[in-house]
Amino acid sequence: MTISDNQGSTAAAAVQIQPPSRMALPDFLQSVKLKYVKLGYHYLISNLFTFCFVPLIFVTLIHFSQTDIDDLHHVWLHLQYNIIAILTCSAFIVFGLTVFILTRPRPVYLVDFACYRPADRFKAPFCSFMEHSRLTGDFDESSLEFQRKILLRSGLGEETYVPEAMLYIPPRSSMVTARAEAEEVMFGALDSLFQNTNLKPKAIGILVLNCSLFNPTPSLSAMIVNKYKLRGNIKSFNLGGMGCSAGVIAIDLAKDLLQVHRNTYAVVVSTENITQNWYFGNKKSMLIPNCLFRVGGSAVLLSNKSAERRRAKYRLVHVVRTNRAADDKAFRCVYQEQDDAGKTGVSLSKDLMAIAGSALKTNITTLGPLVLPISEQLLFFATLVMRKLFKADVKPYIPDFKLAFDHFCIHAGGRAVIDELEKNLQLLPVHVEASRMTLHRFGNTSSSSIWYELAYIEAKGRMRRGNRLWQIAFGSGFKCNSAVWEALHNVKSSPNGPWEDCIDKYPVEVPLIAQQHIS
């Protein structure tokens, strides 16, 4: 994945040092920790307005301290003879404040969220996965070996889950079993959410569901309305075919609806269905999803009620969406189709990582000015001017997003995705720990993976008041979407979380398997 045209790890410039003389000064480049100088620079630039404003306040206070009673009386007389001007200015101020209050975006709060945790009997360790694949009789030896290599390099652990229909030989892939999987996941997450929040389903005014590959009639959102007997005037939406980034799209849709509909709740359900979308052919580009995708789902409760701010966990700050579907390669890089034998599956292009990198570059270029401190923006702009205007031979400056965010939830699409973002965004291992551990414990759960990652951060007790979180997801189309949240207080993990009985085991060391050629 490439974020810039000429990008590499930051290296210190070589400095030619002359042999020290008896009167030579110390080499400050060696004696001063430059990271503290950089931190000082960021602090100075970020608080530049404050530093400039303080002297102005000081001068104003001195001026008022020299004002006597006669001066105040003169001002009062002047105002008495300009009552029309005063009333006009007051009317404009009142009108302006009214317009501001009525048109300003309403804050959107994340009250709580829940992730589905399957039963242990649905676990799929590697040996069982491979034996089951062999016994189905659908895969030749080359395809079985290919899947084995993918599993070893995937970053998945031995405790991920598959749907019940996949445990049978032959697998019971039907509309009935696909509905059963959808109900198990959606209702499991929603039951936990309602239990943790003590919210009555009738209070929900907006429902947004996203599931890319399974869209029956009636819709999945209608199944939820029927199950919980939601009210008749609920605003219900069902998003399909939008891939692993659809969770952020659903959040964005709910946010927009909450700007229009006052004093209400919105529930966003993100899931994927595996039962009818398992590939039983031998085309290698279509076998990869079998090895990566696993069962999972999430339910998120949002609200624009000011009263909910006290118990809400987060406030939604920004949503930035990038859509590259106008480009033919990007459009086809994740593509559902039939192989030569008529078997349906999702094909992954060899250009996927390059296309994802291009989409990420566009997304963070838009997001950067919204979240980065002014110091980083000035450094980036100065480097850009030197390269483009003065043709200087300098490396592009990669903004330090660690200064803008405290936590990162990178879609757990696979080990390669996480590795590339860690390298290109210059993140530390702790920043991608939640993504790696989610991939290891639950696999790629599609659009819900970013919520399993947030649940991991909460379970570790790392989310503090004022912390900023960046959720970033990629999906078919091709799309790259970001959501930025701010913690409203020190956040604790909710009961019945997906990590409740295993968080103490993590992080685990995920073994690095040597890169092997896959033909």
pLDDT grade, residue 73 (50/70/90)?
confident
Q: What pLDDT sits at residue 380?
A: 76
Half-sphere exposure of 415 (CA within 13 A, CB side): 18
**CB-based contacts of 250-256 (< 8 A; 24+ apart in sequence):** 250/208, 250/209, 250/210, 250/447, 251/300, 251/302, 251/316, 251/319, 251/483, 252/319, 252/321, 252/481, 252/483, 253/208, 254/108, 254/206, 254/208, 254/302, 255/108, 255/302, 255/316, 255/319
Predicted local confidence at residue 14, as pLDDT: 34
Strands in 411-458 per DSSP E:
none
Q: What is the arrangement of strands in the sheet containing 407-410, beginning at the earlier edge strand?
A: 235-239, 204-210, 265-271, 297-303, 109-115, 314-323, 479-487, 468-475, 407-410
DSSP-based three-state secondary structure for 293? strand
pLDDT of 201 over the 80 cut:
yes
- Cα distance between residue 300 and residue 209, in whole Å: 10
Predicted pLDDT of residue 13: 33
pLDDT-based confidence at 1, cuts 50/70/90?
very low
Q: Give yes or no for residue 38 having a pLDDT over 60.
A: no
pLDDT digits (tens, 9 = 90+) for 228-251: 999 999 999 999 999 999 999 999
% of the chain surpassing 90 pLDDT: 67
| pLDDT tens digit sequence for 124-146 | 999 999 999 999 999 999 999 99
Asked which of 107-116, 204-213, 368-377 is least confident by mean pLDDT, the reply is: 368-377
- HEC secondary structure over 209-258: EECCCCCCCCCHHHHHHHHHCCCCCCEEEEECCCHHHHHHHHHHHHHHHH
Q: What is the pLDDT of residues 301-346, one digit of tens each?
A: 999 999 999 999 999 999 999 999 999 999 999 999 999 999 999 9
pLDDT tens figures, 244-289: 999 999 999 999 999 999 999 999 999 999 999 999 999 999 999 9
Q: pLDDT tier at 483 (50, 70, 90 boundaries)?
A: very high
